[in-house]
Chain A
């Protein structure tokens, strides 16, 4: 982390960048927040560790409107999101100074809660310089430890790799965190009967409270004004009606990012109701890969997406 701060101070001092977009220490060890730093002094609050899961690429839309370059820290998977935004002219490459930061998998309080660890006062073992295999945790009710892996976000278990597709420089090491196939969950659902599938999604989606966090955090959902907020389609964007609206919203949300979704997993990370929203996005990714050839959104900032291209012999609807 100190290396990051030192390098950042240099870049601020020599005028290469006007500001820094990174993470600020929270009031608890588990809740750092995305933040801008305008000078070397404020960097004393800078933090980068396992809890810094937020994908900062979407903030670069706004930062592209500011004067001067913004230094942004992107994890390997975040660079795909940035590249996709670049492809859609939503960010300005010239306005960004990208430091690719190492990633050993991201953890969250919610994941700790899920394994019964609550009220976390202090955590050791989640720094980039740590081995990141065990977390030593102090809680309100006593001390405990757990495997780093067990506190990891779902997306890190199926991480696509630690490649950076766009950057200006790289700092820090990454570690292989993969221990699953990212389409396994999708396959599991596909193997269910239609009735089971319907029951599964009904239970999950009926929890939706239409807070729009999934949409607003999504780097592919970068519309200035979402179609669900416009009057053109006459859709209620904030009322949960427990019948069809949620399904419509989630299907269309996933459809609109099909071929553009980099599978960054932010939607599932932020859902207050723990809906596995990535399962919808991944279904499209899996279909696209199967039907139209492997495609990885964000890998390149050029070229058409699967839904803006075609071949003469494409599969017919309803046959797959």
Chain B
């Protein structure tokens, strides 16, 4: 266990950035999101939830796959290079880290997504325990311990005027070594006390006790066919907010961009809320917003666990709870089914 004074954090960032690309919560025009660190960036590690999840670091909202060039009748194809330099994502929360584990299930399974795999290989996750879990959080429901994020390479705690730092993997150790000159030894007891403090807040949050009865791999068609969806989806305006702020939504679309000198084939996040989601030449297999709305929750709470040993693809970060324009969210869906006793 190491620690560093808060006031020395800029030096730490600087040191990390010497050998890695550093992604860290940055405040821009009033909002905090993970962005590449620069000296002039306004780092904000106090805000609990960034608007977007840090998913971008491993699975960017849009990324080039390859570029076709054209000169005369000659066509060249250049594959986009895979990430081959290490980068650090600093300040991911426990739920965000779990989110990456969910993505792993999708992208690292055969056939392996090489773009994602390369990023996972070169990415180092420095997670941070949640100091003040919020009312919209419900990570505990999915077995996530926000006091001590698992799955990260380094875990940190912000305690008083100090940041406590514990490497947990080999990658984490290596990163620690590279910045060791800035760190001093830390005290496990302080961390334990902090964890205790956080747990107390968690226990006060009602949604942390949400029941997932009836969801998961056991359910097959009962929930799918429930008339409740017809009522629940109604306020949905079919925007992509919930999916774009979600740390686990992994659907993407592949598109071509005509640069005038050729074509860039890129992929970009898609949203199951959009009417052209899975649109094919013959049309769409989900023709109504109700069907698309249902897809999102069935996928997170039924299909995904069915296919992945019971792992839900919701991590309880609560971003959708905060951001839905019309106040719909997965918690309300779960509660609605509970109430109806379906």
Instruction: Tell whether, in the assembled complex, residue B237 and residue A216 are in contact, meaning their CB atoms are under 8 Å apart.
Output: yes
Contacts of B198 in A (CB 8 A): none
Given known contacts A33-B328, A34-B234, A203-B29, A272 and B245 CB-to-CB distance under 8 angstroms: yes
Instruction: Tell whether, in the assembled complex, residue B239 and residue A238 are in contact, meaning their CB atoms are under 8 Å apart.
Output: no
Return A218 CB to nearest CB of chain B, in Å.
9
Given known contacts A33-B235, A118-B134, A213-B241, A238 and B33 CB-to-CB distance under 8 angstroms: no
Instruction: Tell whether, in the assembled complex, residue B239 and residue A119 are in contact, meaning their CB atoms are under 8 Å apart.
Output: no
Contact of B30 among A33, A121, A272, A274 (CB under 8 A): A274
Instruction: Tell whether, in the assembled complex, residue A207 and residue B31 are in contact, meaning their CB atoms are under 8 Å apart.
Output: yes
Instruction: Tell whether, in the assembled complex, residue A140 and residue B135 are in contact, meaning their CB atoms are under 8 Å apart.
Output: yes
Contacts of B33 in A (CB 8 A): 207, 273
Bound Cα distance from A234 to B331, whole angstroms? 37
Interface string of A201-224 (1 = CB under 8 A from B): 001101101111101110000000
Return B231 CB to nearest CB of chain A, in Å.
7
Which interface class (under 10, 10 to 19, 20 to 34, 35 or more) fits A?
A: 35 or more
Return B241 CB to nearest CB of chain A, in Å.
4
Instruction: Tell whether, in the assembled complex, residue B255 and residue A236 are in contact, meaning their CB atoms are under 8 Å apart.
Output: yes
User: Which of A24-32, A85-93, A146-154, A159-167 forms part of the interface with chain B?
Assistant: A24-32
Number of interface residues of B (CB under 8 A): 48
Closest to B275 in A: A229
Instruction: Tell whether, in the assembled complex, residue A273 and residue B201 are in contact, meaning their CB atoms are under 8 Å apart.
Output: no
Contacts of B30 in A (CB 8 A): 274
Bound Cα distance from A211 to B326, whole angstroms? 14
Bound Cα distance from A26 to B335, whole angstroms? 11
Q: Dominant SS at the A interface?
A: loop
A-B contact count (CB 8 A): 126
Contacts of A269 in B (CB 8 A): 325
B308 at the interface (CB under 8 A from A): no
Instruction: Tell whether, in the assembled complex, residue B266 and residue A34 are in contact, meaning their CB atoms are under 8 Å apart.
Output: no
B258 at the interface (CB under 8 A from A): yes
Given known contacts A121-B135, A207-B29, A272-B323, A212 and B240 CB-to-CB distance under 8 angstroms: yes
Interface string of B260-284 (1 = CB under 8 A from A): 0000001011110011100000000
Closest to B28 in A: A203
Bound Cα distance from A31 to B332, whole angstroms? 10
Given known contacts A213-B241, A240-B62, A35 and B234 CB-to-CB distance under 8 angstroms: yes
Contacts of A58 in B (CB 8 A): 237
Instruction: Tell whether, in the assembled complex, residue B326 and residue A238 are in contact, meaning their CB atoms are under 8 Å apart.
Output: no
Contacts of A266 in B (CB 8 A): 325
Interface string of B237-256 (1 = CB under 8 A from A): 11111011100000001010
B168 at the interface (CB under 8 A from A): no
Return A108 CB to nearest CB of chain B, in Å.
10
Given known contacts A33-B235, A238-B240, A217 and B325 CB-to-CB distance under 8 angstroms: yes
Contact of B244 among A120, A121, A211, A217 (CB under 8 A): A211
Return A85 CB to nearest CB of chain B, in Å.
15
Return B234 CB to nearest CB of chain A, in Å.
6
Instruction: Tell whether, in the assembled complex, residue A238 and residue B29 are in contact, meaning their CB atoms are under 8 Å apart.
Output: no
Return A63 CB to nearest CB of chain B, in Å.
10
Contacts of B241 in A (CB 8 A): 211, 213, 270, 272
Closest to B323 in A: A272
Bound Cα distance from A36 to B61, whole angstroms? 35
Return B318 CB to nearest CB of chain A, in Å.
11
Sample 30 A-B pairs with CB under 8 A, ordered by A number: A27-B207, A27-B335, A31-B321, A31-B327, A33-B328, A34-B235, A35-B234, A54-B235, A54-B327, A58-B237, A140-B205, A207-B31, A207-B51, A211-B244, A212-B240, A213-B240, A216-B237, A216-B239, A217-B237, A217-B325, A239-B62, A239-B255, A239-B268, A240-B61, A240-B268, A269-B325, A270-B326, A272-B323, A273-B51, A274-B30
A211-B241, A212-B274, A270-B326 are known; give 18 further A-B pairs, CB within 8 A: A26-B327, A32-B327, A33-B326, A59-B235, A118-B134, A118-B135, A204-B29, A209-B51, A209-B52, A209-B245, A211-B239, A211-B240, A217-B239, A238-B253, A239-B62, A239-B268, A272-B323, A275-B29
Closest 5 CB pairs of A and B: A270-B325, A239-B268, A213-B239, A31-B327, A239-B62
